Structures are given as C-alpha cells and as structure tokens.
C-alpha cells in the first residue's frame, strides 16, 4: 500500500490487516507510556484546507504516539489565503522533507491529484475530500463494529476476521456524505450487508450502482431488516439553508421520518449498536436518549480513530519492517 486515497482501493485482506494492526496499536494505548518509537525521524504533515478539529487532532495524536515529527498546516492564515496553489504548497512541504501528507480538502479528488502529480514523494492519506471519500473514518467504523459484533459479541479474539453476515443501516444525509460512500465500499468489501435510508432528495443520483440496498422508510428497515448496527449521518447544514435548503420540508419532519429516538432505539435488536461520525446535531438526526444510550459507541469511535490512524501511518511509513505477528503486541517490539 503506497497511499490511502479511497476505501474502495482496499482489498479484503488489506482492510483486515489494518484492523488487526489497529487492534495491536489499541493494546499499546492502555499502557502507562503510550508512545512507540516506530516512526522516529519521520515527518508527517497535516495539510488541512477544511476545518476539522476532530480529524486533525486524531491524526496528530496518532503520529505523535508513533514518535513522528508533526507539522500542522491550515489554509486559513497561510499563503493559500493569498492565492498559493495546492502544487506550490505541496512543493514547499516536499522541500521540508515530508514523509507523509495527510490531506483534507473541499475538492473531491485533491488527494488523488497530490498522490499522482509527483509534487510530493511521501505517502498521501486522504482525510476527507469533498463529498467523495473519508477512508480512515470507514476503517474506524469497521474496527468499532468488529469489536462489538464479531467474535461472540466482542468476547473472543476477532483477529483475522471480517464483518461477514452483519447488516448495517446507514441513515441520513447520504447525498453530501463522504462517510457514507466510504462505508458502503468498505463494509461491502468486508462482507457486511448495507442498507441506506434517507429522504429521496438526499439520495445521490446513481446510487443503484452502489453495492447496497436503499430505502426511504427507517421504521420498516428496523422492523424487517433487524440491523446489527445503525450509523446515523450528520445533517450537513452548512450545505443547506437552515430549513433544509429544499432537501426536506423542515427539521421537525426530518426528525420524525429519519431521526433515531428512544422509540426506534427500543425497536432495534438487543445486540445492535449505534454509531455517528460526529459532530452530532442532537434533536435532529439523533436524540439525546439515543446519543447517550449505553448502546451508542460514539465516544469509543473517537478513541478507535487514533488506533486506526496509527495503524495506517505505521503500515504506510514502516511497511518495510516486519508486520507484527497476530497476537504479538507491538509493545514487545518497540515500546520505549
């Protein structure tokens, strides 16, 4: 694996390897000293053209836990705001010796351009581009699902296993969601069945070609599909007017049709878990009852995000080193 640009680029074995490696990284994070010397001397640049405190901090934490040097670059207040292009920015970072560039950009395809243009020799990790892809979010979602739903409900070691047989329902603003696109591809690769649920106006053109089912009625999917997990998507208000921008009649009607509340939470199978990529619009796509329920694994997703991003950076930048054998903690090899 040279870059990580899309969840669709991953094979089943590559995705499982990342999840297994993330499990080993997570095990090191329970120790008193969490830092590993694995990427000492390497430089990771967080190149963010879009605001995202949560994702940037997660990548920064992951890189620092692996002892990499980290440079955070935000478009705001930089030369980009004065008209500098992506190419010139990339050439500048390359001159500074970047070994990996984590890029978030409002334009779909920007990470692919950076990876294939020759402007940087380092690995490129897509941290979210336009409405296209967010592969590490899909990986951390898959890791969280495997922890809870594979291996006798998480009580047995799930190393080496995929998500075969699980049914995951993704609900909400699919149209604007790179999280939904990435998850549909990765969950399908890992063997899960995916159902998208959204108002017709928030379903993308061409969705029939995606490897998933589509429904417009959340209550029917919960009653008939018995999903093992429900993933609520954020309603991206910044892409709409306050009333929904014509995508739905009103926030109240959206909540009635597609919000996860206590009634729908009770209707889910007993083992089902609730995910949300955050930040949440409480009272719109998810109620406080559902968000704070013991079945919600939303806070855990944040912690798992660090372990998954450590795994991605480790595999991209230390790929020449032997991959730890299954069951062999990384801490035995390289902890300091």
Q: Catalytic residues, which ones?
A: 54-55, 82, 104, 134
CB contact at 8 A, 298 and 275: yes
- Contacts by 175-178, CB closer than 8 A, 24 or more apart: 175/131, 175/201, 175/202, 175/203, 175/204, 175/247, 176/131, 176/202, 176/236, 176/239, 177/131, 177/233, 177/234, 177/236, 178/128, 178/129, 178/130, 178/131, 178/132, 178/133, 178/134, 178/137
CB contact at 8 A, 260 and 285: yes
Pseudo-torsion of CA 9, 10, 11, 17, nearest 10°? 160
Query: Token digits for 187?
Result: 């969950």
Cis? peptide before 279, omega within 30° of 0? yes
Q: Cα–Cα distance between 228 and 169 in angstroms, integer?
A: 8
Q: Cα–Cα distance between 315 and 319 in angstroms, integer?
A: 5
3-state secondary structure of 52: coil
Helical (H) or strand (E) element with 181: helix 178-189
Q: Say which residues have a Cβ less than 8 Å from residue 214's Cβ, sequence separation at least 6.
A: 195, 196, 197, 198, 203, 207, 208
Pseudo-torsion of CA 97, 311, 179, 286, nearest 10°? -130
Q: Say which residues have a Cβ less than 8 Å from residue 49's Cβ, sequence separation at least 6.
A: 75, 80, 86, 103, 104, 105, 106, 110
């Amino acid at each position: 694996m040279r870059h990580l640009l899309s969840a669709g680029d991953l094979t089943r074995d590559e995705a499982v390897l990342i999840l297994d490696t993330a499990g080993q990284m997570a095990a090191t994070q329970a120790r008193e000293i969490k830092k590993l010397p694995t990427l000492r001397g390497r430089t990771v640049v967080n190149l963010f053209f879009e605001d995202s405190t949560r994702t940037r901090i997660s990548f920064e934490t992951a890189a620092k836990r692996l002892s990499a040097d980290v440079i955070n670059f935000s478009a705001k207040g930089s030369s980009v705001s004065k008209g500098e292009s992506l190419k010139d920015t990339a050439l500048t970072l390359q001159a500074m010796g970047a070994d990996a560039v984590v890029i978030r950009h409002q334009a779909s395809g920007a990470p692919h351009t950076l990876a294939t243009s020759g402007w940087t020799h380092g690995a490129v990790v897509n941290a979210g581009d336009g409405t296209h892809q967010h592969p590490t979010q899909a990986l951390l979602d898959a890791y969280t699902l495997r922890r809870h739903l594979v291996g006798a409900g998480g009580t047995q070691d799930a190393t080496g296993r995929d998500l075969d047989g699980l049914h995951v329902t993704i609900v909400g603003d699919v149209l604007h969601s790179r999280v939904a696109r990435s998850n549909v591809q990765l969950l399908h690769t890992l063997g899960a069945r995916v159902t998208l649920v959204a108002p017709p106006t928030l379903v993308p053109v061409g969705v029939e070609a995606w490897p998933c089912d589509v429904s417009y009625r959340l209550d029917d999917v919960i009653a008939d599909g018995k999903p093992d997990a429900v993933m609520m998507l954020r309603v991206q208000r910044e892409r709409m007017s306050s009333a929904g921008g014509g995508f739905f009649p009103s926030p109240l009607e959206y909540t009635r049709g597609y919000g996860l509340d206590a009634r729908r939470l009770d209707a889910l199978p007993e083992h089902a878990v609730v995910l949300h990529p955050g930040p949440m619009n409480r009272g719109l796509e998810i109620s406080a009852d559902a968000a704070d329920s013991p079945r919600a694994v939303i806070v855990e997703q944040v912690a798992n995000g660090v372990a998954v991003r450590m795994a991605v950076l480790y595999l991209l930048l230390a790929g020449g080193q032997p991959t730890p054998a299954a069951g062999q903690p990384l801490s035995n090899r390289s902890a300091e």
